[in-house]
Structure formats: C-alpha cells, structure tokens
Amino acid sequence: MKKVIVACGGAIATSTVAANKIKELAARENIPVEVVQCRVSELDSKKEGADLIVTTAKVRKDYGIPVVHGVAFVSGVNIEGTENKILDVLK
C-alpha cells in the first residue's frame, strides 16, 4: 500500500480534485493507495510513512519525500505529464 499526501492551501477544493484524480490513476494502474488530504502547513505532521506528496500550491521545502506539483489536475494542462511523474514514484 502506497501513501500519498495531497496538500493545498485550504485542504478542501483543489486537494479534493487532485486526490480523486490520483485515486483514479492508482486504480487504473492497479496500485493500492491511501490518499490523505491536508493543508500545506500540515505536511510536517502528516508526512510520516508517506511515499509521495502532491501539492496544488507552491512548496519549496524539502520533506525528504518526492513532491509532485499537481496543479495540472485542476487546470487540465499537462495531466499526462503529472500522472507519469506520480507513477514514476509509485511504481
């Protein structure tokens, strides 16, 4: 089971869109995944055991975990490229 944290500014709107897309992607690729949503400000406290962080906000801090910028799931631009980055980490 892979753990993915999806973070945005408020942990509601954009992270929900991205979280749903990641769940769909994982299901399509037969990757068991747990998706946890949070605010960017909560990443330090939520990162334990995570394999990947996907953010819809700008993040510059190094959490020691791969970070993928997931705004493509909200904008619709370069979704395939973002999915490939996510799959590179999860596979």
Which tokens sit at 58? Answer: 């700008």
CB atoms within 10 A of CB 10: 11
The closest of 43, 28, 36 to 2, measured between CA atoms, is 36
| 8 catalytic residue (yes or no) | yes
Q: Could you give the CA distance from residue 70 to residue 78 in angstroms, rounded to a whole number?
A: 10
Selecting among 5, 6, 8, 35, the annotated active-site residue is 8
Q: For the chain, give percent helix, strand, coil, nearest 5.
A: 45, 25, 35
Task: List active site positions.
Answer: 8
